[in-house]
Chain A
Amino acid sequence: MSNSMKINTRDLGEVSIYDNDIITFQNGLFGFEDKSRFVLIDVINKQGAPLWLQSVDAPSLCFIVFDTRSIISGYEPQALQEDLDLVGIDNIDEAKIFSIASIGDDIRKTTINLKSPVIINSNNNMGVQAILSNDYELRYRLYQNA
Chain B
Amino acid sequence: MLVISRKINEGLIINDDIEIVILEASKDKVKIGIKAPKNVNVSRKEIYSTKQENITASVCPRKEVLEELIKSGKEK
Give the B-binding residues of A (Cβ under 8 A): 10-11, 29-32, 43-44, 46-50, 60-64, 100-107, 110, 113, 115-116, 129, 131, 138-139
Give the A-binding residues of B (Cβ under 8 A): 46-47, 49-58, 60-62, 65-66, 68-70, 72-74, 76
B50 to chain A, nearest CB (A): 4
A-B contact count (CB 8 A): 82
Interface centre among A60, A103, A116, A129 (most CB of B within 10 A): A103
- B58 near A131: Cβ-Cβ < 8 Å: no
- B76 near A47: Cβ-Cβ < 8 Å: yes
Residue on B nearest A103 in the bound complex, by CB: B61
A50 / chain B contacts, CB cutoff of 8 Å: 69-70, 73
- A32 near B58: Cβ-Cβ < 8 Å: yes
Q: How far is the CA of A31 from the CA of B46 in the complex (A)?
A: 12
B47 / chain A contacts, CB cutoff of 8 Å: 30, 131
Residue on A nearest B48 in the bound complex, by CB: A30
